Structure 1
Amino acid sequence: MKKVAIIQDLSSFGKCSLTAAIPVLSVMGVQACPLPTAVLSAQTEYPSYYCHDLTNVMPRYTEEWKKLNVSFDGIHTGYITGKEQIHQILTFLESFYTDHTLLLVDPVLGDNGKAYDNFEEELLEQMKVLVSRADIITPNITECCLLTGYSYDVLHSCMDEQDYLKSVEDAGRQLQLSTGAEIIITGIQPPSRQDSIGNMYINETDSLFTTVPYNGNSYSGTGDLFASVLMGSRLRGVSMEQAITLAKEFLLAAIEDTALYDTSVEAGVNFEKYLRMLL
């Protein structure tokens, strides 16, 4: 059985990070091996939560796993609490990343044009080092702009759809050229498409923009679920285009189901009953 080291937080409520990645990878036939960056009573968009930072614990995982002489087919990084955790992840990669390992980095830095509360310039510089090691990077538009220096405000001032998408592609292309990774920019909503939202896939030679219906709600954990389906799919040997299609169909079903209930966006989506789509 293939194994993936998942370096993310464990949030009890919010259906994100580890509680999203573990069931997705498991149902796709991949052993999920969590290395928690923090333990939270609820994800950070809740009005109140407790967070226990595990930065000092992370090196112990690395050392103990080295003693076990384990190897990983994939490594998936997500939410981190600060720059010191990126140092720990880079040390982890020195021991466990090989030519046969797929490294997916979700550069969790901000959203909707704003950086998260833990953001600082040194964190950004360290994240640039981490994404330079990645095989797949899944930023949202805000994170892509932060990593490339593009202005989020200027990009969103484009009122013409083609100009807007061209600006998004230019930012993504710069990230692709600087890292050599496959890029999937998430949460793209052209000015003229308020009822749809999309992703843009960029590789060395091509780009592909696809959309799904949008109900106006941004639910917790959808990015984590999306990235986890990509990881599971690629370890199955399928193309990125096929992986993106499966992830979109899975999430669309979960979101449509969630919209039938009075569920807060912080609580995440009803994905559990649709895990069978990933078998």
Structure 2
Amino acid sequence: MKKVAVIQDLSSFGRCSLTAAIPVLSVMGVQPCPLPTAVLTAQSEYPSYYCEDLTAHMPHYIKEWQRMNAQFDGIYTGYVTGEEQLQHIFHFLQTFQRDDTVLLVDPVMGDNGEHYPMLTERMLQHMKELTKRATIITPNITESCFLTGTSYDKLQRYSDDTSYMDAIIHMAQQLADSTKAQVVITGVLTPQARTIQNVYVSSETASYTPRRYNDKSYSGTGDLFASVIIGSMLQRATMPQAIALAEQFIEAAINGTDDSPTIAGVQFEKQLHMLLPR
């Protein structure tokens, strides 16, 4: 069985990060090996939560897994609490990344044009370096702007869908050129048609499939998306196949979710059968 080291936080409520990645990868026939960056009582969009930062524990995982001669077919990084954790991730990559290791970097830094509190200029520079080591990166629009130096406010001034999507594709191509990774900018919402899509760019192609948007933004959908992508890639799917499966799975999960608060995430558990290897 293939193994993925998942370097993410564990949030008890919110259906995101490790509580999303573990069931998705498991049902896809891939063993998730969690390296938790923090433990939270609930994901950080809840009005109140407690967070235990696990930075000091990360070197113990590296040391003990090295003693076990552990090997990973994939490495998936998500939420980190600061610069020191990124340094531990670089050490992890030096220890475990091989030429054939699939490295998916979800550069969690902000959303809706705003950066998260932990982001500093030095951390941004470290994140840029991390994306250059990746096979796949899955930033949202805000994170793509940070990585490319693009003005988020200027992007939002586009009033027609064609010009807006052209600008997003251009930004994705900038990322692909600078990182040499396959780039998927996630959760792109068009200003007029109000469709949502994930924009995929590699050195050869750019593509996206518009899907109906229900005017709700759920916790954890980006984590579900990235988990399906790396699971699919380890099953030798093409990137377009991986994206299509992830979009179909998340759409079904959204459609099957009741009127719970969006911070609780989507009720994806009933749709996990869609991910079973065929």
**TM bin (shorter chain):** over 0.9
Query: Which moved further from structure 2: 45-54 or 165-174?
Result: 165-174
The equivalent of 1:126 in structure 2 is: 126
The equivalent of 1:178 in structure 2 is: 178
The equivalent of 2:249 in structure 1 is: 250
Other structure's SS at 1:56 match? helix
Other structure's SS at 1:46 match? coil
Stretches of 4+ aligned residues off by more than 3 angstroms: none
The equivalent of 1:270 in structure 2 is: 267
* Distance of 1:151 and 1:28 partners within structure 2: 38
* Distance of 2:223 and 2:265 partners within structure 1: 11
The equivalent of 2:33 in structure 1 is: 33
Give the Å deviation of 1:165. Answer: 0.8
Give the Å deviation of 1:189. Answer: 1.0
* Distance of 1:9 and 1:240 partners within structure 2: 26
Measured against aligned partners, the alpha-carbon deviations of 1:80-130 in whole angstroms (never above 9, x if no partner) come to: 001111000000000000011000000000011111111111110110011
After the TM superposition, which residues 17-56 of structure 1 pair with which residues of structure 2 at under 5 Å, given as runs? 17-56=17-56
The equivalent of 2:149 in structure 1 is: 149
Give the Å deviation of 1:162. Answer: 1.3
* Distance of 1:203 and 1:80 partners within structure 2: 26
Other structure's SS at 1:75 match? strand
TM-score by length of 1: 0.98
1:217 aligns with 2:216: yes
TM-score by length of 2: 0.98
The equivalent of 1:73 in structure 2 is: 73
What runs of 5+ residues in structure 1 fail to find an aligned partner? none
1:187 aligns with 2:187: yes
After the TM superposition, which residues 104-143 of structure 1 pair with which residues of structure 2 at under 5 Å, given as runs? 104-143=104-143
Give % identity.
58
The equivalent of 2:204 in structure 1 is: 205
Give the Å deviation of 1:145. Answer: 0.4
1:47 maps to a residue whose letter is P
What runs of 5+ residues in structure 2 fail to find an aligned partner? none
* Distance of 1:17 and 1:100 partners within structure 2: 24
2:160 maps to a residue whose letter is D
Cα-Cα RMSD: 0.6
